[in-house]
A and B are shown apart, each in its own frame.
Chain A
């Protein structure tokens, strides 16, 4: 097949140049809009980060800024933004993180999946040229950092760099909590076969032996390194910033009432529950954690770690008590690794239906949200509620496809080899 123009664009140099150019244009446009319009391009969260960074640069706590609910590391990272001329520094960092994540995607696809440069580039473009991804980072949302952390985690694990993987895992859980769901998947994946060691061919004689076989030196190493990184960072932050660090970075996420409308199926239920002080909504964590920490990694992780992580993240976001569109980035980073050979590509009708339903579900919800937010129509019930349930069920259906694909993954390898 002669290289068409499009396939040349997927070669590394044009792939990354275009991705960088897209972000540069958005960055400059955003700066222009911020300077000339009362409606800002910059995300409100970015103002929270930069306020916190300014606080830190003055030797104060980042938690002096209300609604700063992140690790102090983020505020430290953004300290240069305290100087007005470097206000966009953070956005540049987030955009670079996007590119780095894209580079890791290409690397994983080529080195660990044996793909050609163009094919790997084409799939990486789903992330690198994605306008949603580029907009979110150039508006100054830190989710792109999570993208690079989770992709680096996958790259380290599949490359059997256990120490590095432990460090990244500990750091990313400290950063945003949710990557802890990857820990069981990685641990489960780390069997002798995947680590390239000789298999003990004998099946375990007893349950005790099976359990004992799970306790391998590599697994212990990963657990120890990730735990000590996570705890080390927490102790350090607690030592410096005290209780506000714990309250805002961690406890807030457990105790928050989450009444403001969002995509979560639990949203209206939580609003009603919060108005009634005696009720507790902690049981909402159960299906979410069962799927994302236990069942999905158990079935998928050993077959295809990337698809398992994608499905786990998808389940975590879908079943979460809060769900905003920024969270969708958490699973979009895995799309370039999941899509090759998936049934969504094999059967484009299925893929397009999934994409359309995913977009339509959001559109329906956003329409109801608009009526509530801007027109003051009480659409909480039934409109917004039904829209969030519909979106939830659409997501469950898509999750089903991802899981089925993940379960078939290694079978396919047989057929293609």
Chain B
């Protein structure tokens, strides 16, 4: 097991490395504004046997979670995903053994009640993506990691360090993002948690089982840094190995960058059954220092209550009227008619290319509109059902050199859903989401449904109306029959009249 804890300072935060107290068992320091990243690398034998058994049946597994709370971050930790839990995996064997999915779903219940038991809830993920992308994908809203930390404690924390272990798990309640990745080639599990930018004390205990590296870093510009790189400087130390922090200065290419400006997402009122999601971008512009082609995108994660119609998003005039350029990707399948309660997939993903105003590089504010459609939901007592739709990830994607070694970056983050839809070497410049209300990156929408109380009236009322209508029609038929029978009676009479004449 290896651990790496990084405190990352903003530009303007003064900080003196000499204030760091390094002992054999811990690193301590005074409070400073910083975000914190905790990275743990484990090998399969270090995991509880059940979990290791599950992973051995998989080729790769990626969990990505982001908080619905709004938070501040710094480059190179600027990547964003829609709030909630994103799960993608590839089974080890082609045959898609259903037990793999069942075991995975059972394990995922550690996060809370996740609706992943139905066979078709996972959606095929590899179409249109870079080779090596995970095969199957599932998303579930997940507000907090509290329950996960509590349930995980007894499983992973044991022995003399159990208390410390639980304490660390408990800290997950304040984390804003959590990644877990496994792939069968390295047989390693990588866990990365991120805490937002705020004033925090430096306090890192040594891991009882392995190496613990601590870094206190900030942005810098090392000599010889390439224009597309991010420079970093600060101090590094390994607990138990070093008494003094060693200075560090390095640069690397980062897959994720921070774009200027921000965006909000809201539903146009009234929402009706065909709501429009308005993405209002302010003061954001294509990164200027690049020669590369850049375009703004929104990657939507839509729970099954709501969906985009790929066919509607195919007409150029229509798209242009919404400030959209193209729907680059819509996951499949998306049933365009079925109610939510008979729809099996978890929902759908959509990658939209947005159309920024042509004039003025730094337009103050512009709005892209995403036409969406609601599914019918089960009856409720009030005739309304509330649904929360996570904010999309909004970013400028800039073409880059295919051979850019992003993975060399110590802070690289990949397999976020949208990155696989672009060429390798693409840089993602993330536009920072600003919450509409309540500080949450969730768009609430009220879906009209039939009231539960209706069922007693509708059953009997419809039957009465149909019987009445049917009886009336029947009566006229009987009346007609009584008058003239079933044959062309009168015509016959006519013939007879003629004969008589």
Contact = CB atoms under 8 A, between A and B. Distances in A.
Interface residues of B, number: 65
B321 interface: yes
Contact of A372 (B448, B457, B459, B476): B448
A385 B461 contact: yes
A401 B476 CA distance: 8
A380 B449 contact: yes
Contact of B484 (A193, A303, A380, A399): A303
Nearest to A271: B450
B261 interface: no
B54 interface: no
Contact of A392 (B270, B311, B469, B477): B469
Given A303-B488, A381-B451, A275 B378 contact: yes
B490 A380 contact: no
Contacts of A372: 272-273, 448
A324 to B, nearest CB: 13
B147 interface: no
Contacts of B318: 38, 40
Nearest to B468: A393
B380 to A, nearest CB: 9
Contacts of B488: 193-194, 302-303, 410
Contacts of B470: 287, 291, 319, 396
A374 interface: yes
Contacts of A385: 454, 458, 461-462
Given A257-B338, A259-B376, A380 B451 contact: yes
B473 A399 contact: yes
Interface string B446-472: 111111011101110110011011101
Nearest to B482: A407
A275 B451 CA distance: 12
Interface in B3-28: none
B186 to A, nearest CB: 40
B274 A373 contact: yes
A3 to B, nearest CB: 32
B480 A376 contact: no
A411 interface: yes
Nearest to A34: B317
B437 interface: no
Interface string A18-36: 0000000000000000111
A269 B462 CA distance: 7
Interface stretch (A113-121, A125-133, A215-223, A293-301): A293-301
A80 B379 CA distance: 46
Nearest to A386: B461
B483 A378 contact: no
A320 to B, nearest CB: 12
Contacts of B336: 66-67
23 contacts: A38-B320, A38-B322, A40-B315, A47-B311, A268-B458, A269-B462, A272-B379, A274-B341, A275-B379, A299-B481, A300-B480, A319-B466, A374-B272, A376-B272, A376-B273, A380-B449, A380-B454, A392-B466, A407-B476, A410-B488, A411-B490, A414-B490, A414-B497
Which 7 pairs show the lowest CB-CB distances between chains A and B? A407-B480, A38-B321, A396-B469, A378-B383, A381-B454, A378-B448, A380-B450
Interface of A: 34-38, 40, 44, 47-48, 51, 66-67, 191, 193-194, 257, 259-260, 265-266, 268-269, 271-272, 274-275, 287, 291, 295-296, 298-300, 302-303, 315, 318-319, 372-382, 385, 389, 392-393, 395-397, 399-401, 403-404, 406-408, 410-414, 417
Interface of B: 270-275, 311, 315, 317-318, 320-322, 335-339, 341-342, 376, 378-379, 383-384, 446-451, 453-455, 457-459, 461-462, 465-466, 468-470, 472-477, 479-481, 483-484, 486-494, 497
